A = this chain, B = another copy of it.
Amino acid sequence: MRGVVMYAPGDVRVEEREDPRIIEPTDAVIRLAATCICGSDLWPYRGIEPVDHTPMGHEYVGVVEEIGSEVKNLKVGDFVVGSFVISDNTCEICQSGFQSKCVHAEFVAATIGTQAEKARIPQADGTLVPTPGQPTPDMIPHLLAASDVLGTGWFAAVAAKAGPGKTVAVVGDGAVGLMAILAAKQLGAERIIAMSRHPERQKLARYYGATDIVEERGEAGIEKIKELTGGLGAHSVVEAVGTQESFMQAVGATRGGGHLGYVGVNYEVSIPGIQMFFAGIHALGGPAPVRRFLPELIQLIWEGKIDPGKVFDLTLPLEEAAEGYKAMDERRATKVLLTL
C-alpha cells in the first residue's frame, strides 16, 4: 500500500509500505476513507522531536476490512472512527474516562502511521466506534476531525470546565484551538475569547462561536484577558499551542480557582513551580481521551449539529502529502485533509 514516511525533518515521502494484517486476535484492519496532517506532525518536521524513517499519521476514518477472531463489536464493512490512542475501553482507567492512559494504551503515531491506504488497529473493540450507517462523502471531513482535533479540542474545553455562565479563553487559533471554541459553544459557555492574530482564523473562530478576539500575546495578552473579565481572569482557559510562552500565557489568564485545560506541550516547556503554585488554578492536561467523546461527537455530526470539518482548508491527494506538510509549516493551511 501507499503511505507517508518522514525520512528526516522536512523530508516527507509517499512510498510503498507493507500491507497491514491482523497480528493479534483483537486487531482490525481498516481501509481509510480519508486521513490528515496534524499540528503535532510539525514537531518532527521542524526537528523539535526526533524522526527517522517514521511512518506518519494518527488520524483516521474508514471501513473495516478484516477483524481478528476476538473482535466482537465490529463487523467487516462497518464505517468507523478511532482515536489517536489505542485503548481497550474496559480497564479501570478507561472506565474512568481516561482512555488515553489505558493499560493497553499505544500511540497510533508511534507504531502504526495512518497517513496510508490501510491501517492495523489494535484493541479494535475498544478503539473503534462505528457510525450509525455509511456516511455521505460530505460527512467524512467532519468524522475525520473527530479522530483527533475535534476530540482534543472538546477534551480541552471539558478540562477547562467550559459551560453556562463561564468565560472561556482559548490560547491558539490552530485546528485544536478552533475546535475548543466549537466545543465551548456547544457546552454552553457564555463568552468565548479567541487569542489570535490571524485574520482568516479569527473569522473561523467567530464562525465557531468566539465572542471576542484578543490579538495580544504574553503578558499583554494576560492583561487584556483581565481587562475583559473585571480584573479576575477567565474562568476557563484552553491552551492549544504548546510552547513555553503560550503555556504561561494560559496560566496567567486563568483566574484563581479557575480551570486550565492543556492538550499539548513541546519538549522545551518547563513550568516554574512557584508561578504555577501562586496561580492557584486547576489544571488538567494530557493526550486527550478522545475515545470518551467519540459516541457523542459522531452523533452530533450525524445530526448535522456541528461542522468541525470546516477546519480543513486544504485538500490534497495522499501522494501530495509533502506539499501538505509544507503548507501547514508555512501556515498557508490550518489543517490538510489527504484523500485516498
CB contacts (< 8 Å) of A267 on chain B: these are 274
A283 to B159, CA, bound (A): 11
Given A270-B271, A274-B265: A280 and B232 interface contact (C-beta under 8 Å): no
CB contacts (< 8 Å) of A271 on chain B: these are 270-273, 276
- Closest Cβ of chain B to A69, distance in Å, is 27
Number of chain copies forming the complex: 2
Stretch with Cβ within 8 A of B (4 or more), from A60-68, A178-186, A256-264: A256-264
Q: Which residue of B lies closest to A243 (CB)?
A: B273
Question: Is the pair A286, B256 in contact by a Cβ cutoff of 8 Å?
Answer: yes
Whether a CB of chain B sits under 8 angstroms from the CB of A247 is yes
- Closest Cβ of chain B to A238, distance in Å, is 14
Q: A262-B277, A265-B274, A269-B273 are in contact. List 12 more A-B contacts (CB 8 A).
A: A93-B256, A100-B256, A265-B276, A270-B271, A270-B272, A271-B273, A276-B285, A277-B286, A278-B286, A280-B285, A281-B286, A282-B282
Whether a CB of chain B sits under 8 angstroms from the CB of A324 is no
Whether a CB of chain B sits under 8 angstroms from the CB of A96 is yes
Whether a CB of chain B sits under 8 angstroms from the CB of A231 is yes
Given A231-B103, A270-B271, A273-B270: A98 and B283 interface contact (C-beta under 8 Å): no
Question: Is the pair B287, A280 in contact by a Cβ cutoff of 8 Å?
Answer: yes
Given A267-B274, A269-B274, A274-B265: A93 and B255 interface contact (C-beta under 8 Å): yes
Q: Which residue of B lies closest to A96 (CB)?
A: B257
Whether a CB of chain B sits under 8 angstroms from the CB of A92 is yes
Whether a CB of chain B sits under 8 angstroms from the CB of A97 is yes
Question: Is the pair B97, A257 in contact by a Cβ cutoff of 8 Å?
Answer: yes
Question: Is the pair B281, A277 in contact by a Cβ cutoff of 8 Å?
Answer: no
From B97, B264, B268, B280, give the contact of A101 (CB < 8 A). B280
CB contacts (< 8 Å) of A231 on chain B: these are 103
The 7 A-B residue pairs whose C-beta atoms are closest, nearest first, are A101-B256, A269-B273, A280-B286, A98-B257, A265-B273, A271-B271, A101-B280
CB contacts (< 8 Å) of A213 on chain B: these are none
Whether a CB of chain B sits under 8 angstroms from the CB of A279 is yes
CB contacts (< 8 Å) of A244 on chain B: these are 273
Whether a CB of chain B sits under 8 angstroms from the CB of A139 is no
CB contacts (< 8 Å) of A274 on chain B: these are 265-267, 269
Whether a CB of chain B sits under 8 angstroms from the CB of A204 is no
- Closest Cβ of chain B to A225, distance in Å, is 15
A273 to B280, CA, bound (A): 17
Question: Is the pair A255, B286 in contact by a Cβ cutoff of 8 Å?
Answer: no
A293 to B272, CA, bound (A): 28
Whether a CB of chain B sits under 8 angstroms from the CB of A284 is yes
**Sample of 20 A–B contacts (CB below 8 Å):** A92-B232, A93-B232, A96-B257, A98-B256, A100-B256, A101-B255, A101-B256, A101-B280, A244-B273, A256-B286, A257-B289, A266-B273, A269-B273, A269-B274, A270-B270, A271-B273, A277-B285, A278-B287, A280-B289, A283-B284
